[in-house]
A = this chain, B = another copy of it.
Amino acid sequence: MARPDKPVNLAEKLEKLEELDAYWTPRTVMEVNGLELKVSRFKGEFVWHSHTEGDELFLVLRGTLTIELRDRDAVRLGPGELFVVPKGVEHRPVTPEGCDVVLLDPEGALNTGDAGGALTRDAEWL
Contacts and interface: CB of A to CB of B under 8 A. Distances in A.
Interface of A: 3, 6-11, 30-33, 35, 37, 54-55, 57, 75-77, 80-84, 86, 104, 106
Identical chains in the assembly: 2
A49 to B, nearest CB: 17
B82 A8 contact: yes
Given A7-B75, A75-B7, A31 B84 contact: yes
Contacts of A84: 3, 30-32
A6 B106 CA distance: 21
Contact of A81 (B7, B33, B86): B7
Which residue of A35, A54, A82, A106 has the most chain B CB atoms within 10 A of its CB atom?
A82
